Amino acid sequence: AHPGTSLCHQMLFFIRAAILIQNWYRFTMARLEMRRRYSLSIFQSIEYADEQDQLQVFSTLLFFFPFVPVSHIFTSPSVSQVVDEGLYLTEFEKKIDVPDSYYGPRLSFPLTVEDANALLHAFRNEQLLHARYVLQLLYETRRVLKEMPNITHLSTSYSKEITVCGDLHGNLDDLLLIFYKNGLPSEQNRYVFNGDFVDRGKNSMEILIILFAFLLIYPNDLHLNRGNHEDYIMNLRYGFTKEVSKKYKDHGQQILCLLRDVFSWLPLATIIDSKVLILHGGISDTTDLDFLNALERNKLTCLLSSLCSGNSFFFFFFLKLKSLMQPPKSVRDRQDQLKERIPTTRPSKHTAGKTQHISLSGSAEPSGSNLPPDPALKEWKQILDILWSDPRSQNGCTPNKCRGGGCYFGPDVTAKLFERYNLKMLIRSHEFKPEGYEISHNGKVITIFSASNYYEEGSNRGAYIKLNPELIPRFVQYQVSKVGTIESSALKCLREKIYAHRSELTSAFAQYDLNGTGRISVNDWAAAMESVLQLELPWRMLRSQLAQTTPDGEVDFMSCFYDLKIGQPIKEVQPALVETLCRYRKDLEIIFNVIDKDRSGLISLEEFGQTWKLFASHLGIDVYDESLDKLVLSIDYNKDGHIDFNEFLEAFHVAELVGCLGSSPSCH
């Protein structure tokens, strides 16, 4: 063959090979992106469902104590009991000794930049700041915050740029990376941190210490807005309370109580150059910035204390153990009436319009006698909306049913607020974004999220915004993505959710399996999964990861539960009990923490007795000491005089068994 022809064939071969490789690469990247997106969708759907459950569990406690102050239910000492308003910094030195064996930072007030650098160095090396200095720092922080307005006004004329950061959620590495890339706070390098500093991550306390230290050093140049997780009840569930109790065993209660007060004094919003509004969540069609700027923000230490709808799980616990209490028939009749009045946990989106529930959106009027009276109701609604709301592309303002609090606000709601207050841009956080930020409402609303690897390593980038005097936002992103890790972790979370709803799913599958074959179509399987879990996930796409199919393409629906490894149940415990514990474990943890007043990780018999008597008295039930002793002894399995969390869980095994013995055949 002619040499030129051979060369031509070789060139064609290489071109075809290059095209094939290019097509394969594009196809592979598209598949990876698809897997990444559905993995993030799983994480976010479960997160929002979990937040809604959190609101409902706490609301259930309020349902039973409608006329009892929250402080009587959550019986931590008041701040005045723990840290007196008039206490001087030197008093901490007298009351709390710092041993010579402590090698961490030793702070002196007023703080200097050298102190802040010492803190950064210590936390990089996983050192703890001694409790004395933590309490002194919190005391000083509260003093400074009390002097600040509800809405802080800043100007870019004093510095070239202002940096705005979103949720950090206890991810210390993100804060350190931001400071590395963008520089430490100073008079020339101003920052606004937009709430949700704590929970979920393992270094929430260190983040607070660093931010509060720089706040004390540069009170005019570092600014903090309150987020929905700067809330005592949220901290009970999402890890911050446990983190503080673990790190500061002897003084954890004092620190938590003082933090509760510090959180209540955090400003609600920041406005830059009278044009850019920065707040944590969003707005509603009733948001009134003038009203927000005038209210007493510290009165609402916990927004969740005003919610009054919820599921009946705590009540369910009481009813299941009532055989040990033997209430009179008249009271049992009252309990049955109460049970009928309690709304379902999360109404189906198809029946939501028919379900009685209290709207937590500022755009709708809540019903029920347990909400705070006016004007406290208006204050609560205004703050709830700006901390919990999310934007959406459709016009209007509707209750945020995914989260269970706040609202969804559309472009028209944004435009109305901007016109009223002559604003140009809204910067908010509160929502996970894969790229660390998102622009919506025709460029008027920006979501900034600074916690990278939020769900799992590689799940998302973090980002922050730099605003120049022209108020043009510049986004800075960081971190990388590893799809395989994200996907496996997301599917693990989803499988746990599936296991927790095994009974309902089995029943839903059976409705499509009229002939009892154990097989249904993919469409029917997807419909059943969504009807029970209500996560709005691409079930058909996920089917191959969750269930097996037969040769003719039908789904073996029981295969959803084949390879789930939630933990080996005790042999004599029925499978339904494991499912129940899996579903309600987080709810039980909240209740356990509520009873555990001293945060010791153990419930003393005295703590249990006091809480139970309070609970029973408000249901009108006479509790005799002998009956209460029998109840406590039945839970204290190892008879050491304390109830740990595992023993607390065992009580629910007993409760389920007692309930099944005398109930309908549906118990199995």
Would you name the residues annotated as active-site residues?
229
Grouping H, G, I as helix, E, B as strand and the rest as coil, residue 528 is: helix
The torsion of the CA quartet 506, 512, 513, 519, rounded to 10 degrees, works out to -80
Distance CA 219, CA 185 (A): 10
Q: What angle do CA 376, 74, 280 make, to 5 degrees?
A: 50
For 405, the token pair is 């609090």
Collapsing DSSP to helix, strand or coil, 258 comes out as helix
The Cα 363–Cα 386 span in angstroms is 12
Parallel, antiparallel or unpaired: strands 276-278 and 425-428: parallel
* DSSP type of residue 297: G
**Residues with Cβ < 8 Å from 135, sequence gap 6 or more?**
83, 92, 96, 251, 254, 255, 258
Residues ≥6 apart with Cβ < 8 Å to 421:
277, 289
Q: Burial letters for 457-476: b for 16+ Cβ neighbours within 10 Å, e otherwise?
A: ebbbbbbbbebeeeeebeee
Give the C-alpha separation, 410 to 388, whole Å: 15
439, 473 Cβ separation under 8 angstroms: no
Q: Are strands 276-278 and 407-409 parallel, antiparallel or unpaired?
A: unpaired
Identify whether 375 is preceded by a cis peptide bond (ω within 30 of 0).
yes
Sign of CA dihedral 392, 232, 448, 539: negative
Rounded Cα distance between 508 and 525, Å, is 9
Sign of CA dihedral 256, 258, 259, 261: positive
Measured in residues, the chain has a length of 668
Our measurement of the distance from residue 306's CA atom to the centroid of its chain's CA atoms, rounded to an integer in Å, reads: 17
Nearest Cα to Cα of residue 208 among 191, 218, 195, 189 = 195
Alpha-carbon distance 345 to 342, whole Å?
9
Cα Rg of the chain, angstroms: 27
Half-sphere exposure of 635 (CA within 13 A, CB side): 26
User: How many CB atoms lie under 10 A from the CB of residue 234?
Assistant: 25
Residue type, 25: Y
Bridge partner residues of 278 (DSSP)? 270, 427
Distance CA 32, CA 22 (A): 15
Question: What is the token pair recorded at 437?
Answer: 């930020």
Residue 599: left if φ>0, alpha if ψ -120 to 50, beta else—which one? left
Contact 366, 358 (CB under 8 A): yes
Please give the Cα distance from 634 to 654 (Å, whole number).
9
Q: Do residues 416 and 183 make contact, with C-beta atoms less than 8 angstroms apart?
A: no
Of the candidates 308, 358, 372, 317, the residue with the CA atom closest to the CA atom of residue 615: 317
Of 300, 455, 466, give the one whose Cα is nearest residue 381: 300
